[in-house]
């Protein structure tokens, strides 16, 4: 799978993609990331990518020509998807990441906060994506978030494929708590069930903790999720315990 990022700040991405899972995935040839400078697709002496908005108001807007020229020269025929990173886009989540991972090529156009000529969204871009309800000055950090989250769904990128499927948001629940040594840290002890050696009991405890955490922090995810019989039973246990305390 290949990512092409179109940006006016290509330098931002160098260190981000030069470490960890993303570096390894590139070295092994499982993903390829190309960063392109939008200014290379301008035709004027000043390499101008933006201009004043029609109708007035302050701020600058990306001109359509360089963006169209860049995308048209970079996008490959076949399974490619062109995305614009903008706070006006669809909210990015695990499901959208998994969908993007089915494409051969994802082109990420980093917008800027003041705006991008509307004809880019209307006639060039397949998908507009936002990473959350807050404003960033440009789409660069959002593009890096998308590359990392999508790459995790590319087969082979994450060590054991299992660990992606067991992740929060793939299971539809927040993670259960994890502990490592020491067994007693400043008097705060690791739950004793984890030393029981009873794997079934441990699995049930973990599921219960995941449910409890999700209920407390993200009740919205629980509402939209189908519960198994065991989960329903554990949830009613949790609710009983809450009443008692
Ligand atoms: Cl994708 N771009 C910008 N500029 N701001 C954002 C965003 C994207 N997602 C959240 N805020």
Contact 235, 227 (CB under 8 A): yes
Question: What is the 62 CA–ligand 1 centroid distance (Å)?
Answer: 15
Q: Kindly list the protein residues whose Cβ atom lies closer than 6 A to any atom of ligand 1.
A: 85-87, 89, 111, 113, 129-132, 134-136, 138-139, 142
Nearest by Cα to 83 from 109, 62, 101: 109
Round to whole Å and give the CA distance between 126 and 81. 6
Q: Which residues of 184-209 are buried (b: 16+ CB within 10 A; e: fewer)?
A: eeeeeebeeeeeeeeeeebeebbbbb
Round to whole Å and give the CA distance between 52 and 182. 60
Residues paired with residue 91 on neighbouring β-strands, in sequence order? 130
Pocket residue to mutate for ligand 1, from 109, 128, 130, 144, most atoms within 8 A of Cβ? 130
Q: So which residues are the catalytic ones?
A: 87, 114, 152, 167
Round to whole Å and give the CA distance between 243 and 236. 11
- The pLDDT of residue 165 is 63
Residues paired with residue 84 on neighbouring β-strands, in sequence order? 109, 128
Residues paired with residue 127 on neighbouring β-strands, in sequence order? 83
Q: Which residues have C-beta within 8 Å of that of residue 39, sequence separation ≥ 6?
A: 8, 47, 49, 66
- The pLDDT of residue 167 is 76
- The pLDDT of residue 235 is 96
pLDDT tens, 149-167?
A: 999 999 999 987 556 666 7
- The pLDDT of residue 166 is 66
Sketch out the chain's domains with CATH numbers: 2-151 (3.40.1280.10), 184-244 (1.10.1270.20)
- The pLDDT of residue 85 is 98
Ligand 1 atom nearest residue 89's Cα? 1
Q: Which residues of 60-96 are buried (b: 16+ CB within 10 A; e: fewer)?
A: ebbbbebbbebbeebbeeeebbbbbbbbebeebebeb
Round to whole Å and give the CA distance between 213 and 39. 47
| pTM of the predicted structure, to 2 decimals | 0.94
Question: What is the 92 CA–ligand 1 centroid distance (Å)?
Answer: 10
Question: What is the 139 CA–ligand 1 centroid distance (Å)?
Answer: 5
Strands 32-37 and 127-130, by their bridges, are unpaired
- The pLDDT of residue 162 is 57
Please name the residue ranges forming H helices in 35-117.
64-74, 94-100
- The pLDDT of residue 93 is 96
DSSP secondary structure of 142-161: HHHHHHHHHHTTSTTSSSSH
- The pLDDT of residue 161 is 57
| Ramachandran quadrant class, 57 (left: phi over 0; alpha: psi -120 to 50; beta: rest) | left
Stretches where the chain sits below pLDDT 50 are none
């Amino acid at each position: 799978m290949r990512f092409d990022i179109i940006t006016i700040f290509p330098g931002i991405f160098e260190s981000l993609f030069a470490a960890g899972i993303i570096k390894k995935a590139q070295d092994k040839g499982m993903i390829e990331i190309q960063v392109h400078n939008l200014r290379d697709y301008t035709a004027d002496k000043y390499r101008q990518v933006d201009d004043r908005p029609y109708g007035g108001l302050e701020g600058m807007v990306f001109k359509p020509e360089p963006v169209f020229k860049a995308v048209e020269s970079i996008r490959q025929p076949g399974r490619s998807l062109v995305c614009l990173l903008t706070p006006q886009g669809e909210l990015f989540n695990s499901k959208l990441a998994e969908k993007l991972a089915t494409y051969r090529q994802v082109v990420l156009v980093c917008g800027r906060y003041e705006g991008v000529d509307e004809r880019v969204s209307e006639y060039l871009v397949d998908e507009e994506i936002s990473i959350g309800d807050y404003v960033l000055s440009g789409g660069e950090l959002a593009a890096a978030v998308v590359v990392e989250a999508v790459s995790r769904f590319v087969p082979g990128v994450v060590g054991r494929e299992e660990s992606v499927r067991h992740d929060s948001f793939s299971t539809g629940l927040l993670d259960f708590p994890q502990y490592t040594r020491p067994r007693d840290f400043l008097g705060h002890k690791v739950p004793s069930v984890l030393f029981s050696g009873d794997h079934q009991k441990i699995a049930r405890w973990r599921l219960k903790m995941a449910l409890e955490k999700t209920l407390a922090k993200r009740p919205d995810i629980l509402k939209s999720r189908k519960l198994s019989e065991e989960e329903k039973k554990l949830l009613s246990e949790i609710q009983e315990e809450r009443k008692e305390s």
